[in-house]
Chain A
Amino acid sequence: MSPRICTRCAKAALVALVGGCSGPQSALDPGGAAAEQIATLGWTMFAVATAILVAVLALAAHAALAPADRPAWALREGWVLGAGLAFPIVLLSALLVWSLSITGQGADAPPAPFRIQVVGERWWWRVTYLGPDGRPLFSTANELRLPVGRSVDVELTTADVIHSFWVPGLAGKLDMLPGRVNTLSLAAGRAGTYRGQCAEYCGGAHALMAFMVVAETDDSFDRWMAAQAAPVAEPTSDETRRGRDLFLASGCPACHAARGTPAVGAIGPDLTHVGGRLTIGAGLLPTHRGTLAAWIVDPGHLKPEVRMPAFPIYRGEDLRALAAWLESLE
């Protein structure tokens, strides 16, 4: 193989490797400056570590396979100290300085005029947007939206056990601890949907506690903000009207709020705009009529140990109407 082809192969392999490692939840597919810096740091460390590993293995192989006349270097202790003491100290000091320079850095994007409070609950995320004065603007669940190119402070805490808020595409993780508020600054460099997931084992359905972060342009973000602030719209069809009435008449309002209706429950997610969210059940299923209906009938089947009771009383038309109304809440 000629060296040209060789480099081309290597490049292709690298692209395949990096491409194969991309994905909506990959730390190797950064969508923001913070994740980008860490990814660069990571790739550099992988390269240096590979070189060191190969060198150590080659040295060991050489030592093991060396002919009977022992290599002269082996008989001196000095190189053991050189390779085992001096070399790592120099290298690690450099690494420490570099990593600390990243650790201390905040995002340099201009700040957004709002903050987001995220409360970890078993096993979903309560999301509240706060105005500049700290007053809540509206509440939603399992989904954050950000304007591209702005840095948003996300205040993290928990309602029960420890969780950890992690969107690998945008930043490292930060724990949500009882009695504390940790602040993470999130900034997306490009529009897109990033998946996040709870990273601290929180019992039960920990594996099914995900969320979405949608980064969008200023225009569509502003439109979204305005829509979220609005209450539930008046149903436009008989079916959705029936769905709303069923919702209000059954046990749902005890746990769920739908702003603009008498439902003000706060145990479960705010459903005011549930139809406009990408997923239900904390990243579990895409939002549409079918999944909503399945969820209402038996959420525990889809998400074991879930803290919402099953409603097998709903069937047929009733169930379809309820699901249709929820789906219409964009």
Chain B
Amino acid sequence: MSGFPNPLPRPPEELERLRAVWRAPSGWRLISAVNNSYIGLFYLGAAMLFFVLAGILALLIRVQLAVPENDVLPQATYNQVFTMHGTMMMFLFAVPAVEAMGVYLLPNMQAARDLPFPRLSAYAFWAYAVGGLVFFCSLFFGLAPDGGWFMYPPLTSYEFSPGHNADFWLLGIGFIEISAIAGAIEILVGVLRTRAPGMTLDKLPVYSWAMLVFAVMIVFGFPAVILGTALLEIERGFHWPFFIAEKGGDPLLWQHLFWFFGHPDVYIIFLPAAGFVSAILPTMCGTPLVARRWVVLALVATGFIAFGVWVHHMFATGLPKLSLSFFSAASMAVAVPSGIQVFAWIATIAKGKLRLTVPSLFVLGFLAIFTLGGLTGVMVAVVPFDWQTHDTFFVVAHFHYVMIGGMVFPLFAAFYYWAPTASRRALSERLGRWCFGLMFVGFNVAFFPQHIAGLMGMPRRVWTYPAELGWGWINMTSTIGAFVLGLGALVFLIDLARNFRPFTGANAGNVWNAGTLEWLPGGTSVTRSIPIVTSLEPLWDQPTLARDVEDGRYYLPGTATGRRENAESCSVFGAEGHPASSKAAHRRSTS
């Protein structure tokens, strides 16, 4: 490439000034950092904390169910524990975790220095972290909600839940929902506006596409549940009858509002994970993603169809058969885009040469588990079959296959894959293999038998069951598997403790020989200059790119205004020419 925007040599003090402007506050003031890389990692840390806490609750559930007629957890406690487990996994772990990864990765991947509204991300994070912790602590005061994570009224309304438990859910989750929307707006605008010059939509990483669809889905889906929670809280507080049948309300209204958010939420969680896989596999196989256009199309299609399937959570409510058939068809259709992606990934593996690293193992594990979860998903989309399996352990097994397989495994792949961009050391391949092995085996031992339990008639959300029904051995197996799965997660935490060293200003570098821009030197702190993008895997296609960026030959090699400056691009085409120095996002921190 001949015409670089900035000539060499660069003025000597330029780099130091650039670094000073972007440096994060040190010591305990680190928590006041306002920059995507830092907020992204805090965010991720909080999400993992809730993952561990909710995972411990899951183990309590499994201990209680291990044998029939057990009484380790009394009924009232069990009801709180499973409600908290579900709520936390969905609202405090899954959505925030993928949102956090987006906040962390997107600017790096798009070679921007930050997202457009760093303070908004910080707001989203702090609202979530504080709200989430307060919410979790309600468990210690016996005030945790106990209405199940989808909080169906009238059970959760004032008459049948007179305590403050349900209010904790409604207010706590209200905060989290608002935080999720704030984060989504940040990501939405970020994908569209903060991209390196030349990164037109056809050169946008698949992961960015996934996050774009993700953000749009949050912006459409979450208002429904915010409305629902507001109405229910008003009903509880002021006795306005939105959901009370004898006063003219309708309990099904809540179900519609909740699942209009709730089902898309599953894809809100899955699409970013699919984005991880589409980013990791090409690197590990050393070849661009096969059928990339179709994968992008599949992401967008999922985003659309996902809003037409919510009634499949309500097949047993007695709605007219005609509407059931429509939603049944849509629910089956949503499997198709996932199928396309699965085969595109397999084709990518076949085309390249897969290196069996820890991220690859997690991706392969994901493929196996998610495929099974998808197949049982088609089964429960079949109306009569769902009449038998709805609200049973079959469904519990199904959604853990889809959620743990479809999101947790890719997330762990992502941790192992991207850790070197944030940390001075990469995570350990040896511990990573143990982590994967334990998690994969543990997961299947824990959840596969639950399909059988469900078919044998075991409903979900029961704290005990009689021995005569023959569910004992299934549940014991499940419990053993759950602990093995937990052990796998523990190995990961040990690996983190031993090797993960973020915020040191240095990182491990492009250890996988990846082709995308988050692997430019400089990593999370700040890239020396913002390159012009000419292809999908710039680091593969322009061997000197990393050095040229590092030398400061590209855009914004220093700071012109003495403040933080960022690239800004046209939403659709990406900037052709100069990245305007965006509004200074943040006043220069201390010298």
B267-301 CB mask vs A (1 if < 8 Å, else 0) is: 00000000000000000000000110010000000
User: Is A290 an interface residue, CB under 8 A from the partner?
Assistant: no
Which chain B residues border A68 with CB–CB below 8 Å?
353
Residues B332 and A92 in contact, CB atoms below 8 Å apart? yes
What's the Cα separation between A173 and B376 when bound, in Å?
A: 19
What's the Cα separation between A56 and B346 when bound, in Å?
A: 9
What's the Cα separation between A205 and B465 when bound, in Å?
A: 11
**Given A57-B371, A70-B351, also A304-B75 (CB < 8 A):** yes
Min Cβ gap B147→A in Å is: 7
User: Which residues 369-412 of B sit at the A interface, judged by CB distance below 8 A?
Assistant: 371-372, 375-376, 378-379, 382-392
B301-334 CB mask vs A (1 if < 8 Å, else 0) is: 0000000000000001110010011001100110
Residues B329 and A96 in contact, CB atoms below 8 Å apart? yes
Closest to B146 in A: A203
Which chain B residues border A191 with CB–CB below 8 Å?
none
Which chain B residues border A81 with CB–CB below 8 Å?
291, 294, 340
What's the Cα separation between A208 and B71 when bound, in Å?
A: 14
Residues B321 and A173 in contact, CB atoms below 8 Å apart? no
Residues A38 and B388 in contact, CB atoms below 8 Å apart? yes
User: Is B50 an interface residue, CB under 8 A from the partner?
Assistant: no
Closest to B255 in A: A162
What's the Cα separation between A41 and B379 when bound, in Å?
A: 9
**Given A60-B346, A89-B336, A162-B251, also A41-B75 (CB < 8 A):** no
**Given A80-B291, A182-B318, also A204-B154 (CB < 8 A):** no
Which chain A residues border B146 with CB–CB below 8 Å?
203
Choose, from A45-53, A129-137, A245-253, the stretch at the interface: A45-53
Q: Which interface class (under 10, 10 to 19, 20 to 34, 35 or more) fits B?
A: 35 or more
Closest to B317 in A: A175
Taking chain B's interface residues, is the majority helix, strand, or loop, or is none over half, making it mixed?
helix
Min Cβ gap A179→B in Å is: 3
Residues A35 and B388 in contact, CB atoms below 8 Å apart? yes
Min Cβ gap B389→A in Å is: 7
What's the Cα separation between A169 and B244 when bound, in Å?
A: 33
User: Is B367 an interface residue, CB under 8 A from the partner?
Assistant: yes
Closest to B157 in A: A161
Min Cβ gap A196→B in Å is: 9
Min Cβ gap A44→B in Å is: 10
Min Cβ gap A216→B in Å is: 21
What's the Cα separation between A199 and B245 when bound, in Å?
A: 21
Residues B75 and A85 in contact, CB atoms below 8 Å apart? no
Which chain B residues border A88 with CB–CB below 8 Å?
335-336, 339
Min Cβ gap A267→B in Å is: 16
Residues B343 and A79 in contact, CB atoms below 8 Å apart? yes
Contact of A100 among B356, B383, B389 (CB under 8 A): B383
A144-178 CB mask vs B (1 if < 8 Å, else 0) is: 00000000000000001110101010011111011
Residues B367 and A199 in contact, CB atoms below 8 Å apart? no
User: Is A13 an interface residue, CB under 8 A from the partner?
Assistant: no
Contact of B379 among A26, A49, A305 (CB under 8 A): A49
Closest to A77 in B: B291
**Given A84-B344, A207-B464, also A174-B387 (CB < 8 A):** yes
Choose, from B11-19, B214-222, B453-461, B533-541, the stretch at the interface: B453-461
User: Is A104 an interface residue, CB under 8 A from the partner?
Assistant: yes
Min Cβ gap A306→B in Å is: 11
A18-61 CB mask vs B (1 if < 8 Å, else 0) is: 00110111111000000101100110010001001100110110
What's the Cα separation between A97 and B203 when bound, in Å?
A: 41
Residues B332 and A96 in contact, CB atoms below 8 Å apart? yes
Residues B339 and A84 in contact, CB atoms below 8 Å apart? yes
Residues A197 and B459 in contact, CB atoms below 8 Å apart? yes
How many chain A residues have a CB neighbour from B under 8 Å?
Answer: 81
**Given A77-B291, A89-B336, A201-B460, also A49-B375 (CB < 8 A):** yes
The A-B contact count (CB < 8 A) is 245
Residues A178 and B353 in contact, CB atoms below 8 Å apart? no
User: Which residues 140-190 of B sit at the A interface, judged by CB distance below 8 A?
Assistant: 146-148, 152, 154-155, 160-161
User: Which residues 27-74 of B sit at the A interface, judged by CB distance below 8 A?
Assistant: 74
Closest to A92 in B: B332
B66-96 CB mask vs A (1 if < 8 Å, else 0) is: 0000000011100100000000000000000
**Given A21-B452, A80-B347, also A100-B385 (CB < 8 A):** no
Residues B387 and A195 in contact, CB atoms below 8 Å apart? no
Min Cβ gap A312→B in Å is: 21
Min Cβ gap B433→A in Å is: 16
Min Cβ gap A236→B in Å is: 33
Min Cβ gap B156→A in Å is: 9
Which chain B residues border A52 with CB–CB below 8 Å?
371, 375
Which chain B residues border A63 with CB–CB below 8 Å?
346-347, 349-350, 354
Contact of B336 among A59, A60, A85 (CB under 8 A): A85
What's the Cα separation between A167 and B530 when bound, in Å?
A: 64
**Given A62-B350, A178-B251, also A80-B343 (CB < 8 A):** yes
Which chain A residues border B160 with CB–CB below 8 Å?
122, 160-161, 203
B205-248 CB mask vs A (1 if < 8 Å, else 0) is: 00000000000000000000000000000000000000011100
What's the Cα separation between A70 and B339 when bound, in Å?
A: 22
Which chain A residues border B389 with CB–CB below 8 Å?
27
Which chain A residues border B387 with CB–CB below 8 Å?
38, 171-174
User: Is A313 an interface residue, CB under 8 A from the partner?
Assistant: no
Residues B390 and A173 in contact, CB atoms below 8 Å apart? yes
Residues B465 and A195 in contact, CB atoms below 8 Å apart? no
Which chain A residues border B371 with CB–CB below 8 Å?
52-53, 56-57
Known A66-B350, A74-B290, A305-B76; further 6 A-B contacts with Cβ < 8 A: A27-B388, A173-B390, A178-B244, A206-B79, A207-B462, A207-B465
CB<8 Å pairs between A and B, sample of 18: A20-B470, A25-B456, A27-B457, A45-B378, A49-B375, A53-B371, A57-B368, A64-B364, A77-B290, A80-B340, A84-B343, A88-B336, A95-B382, A96-B325, A104-B321, A160-B154, A161-B152, A203-B79
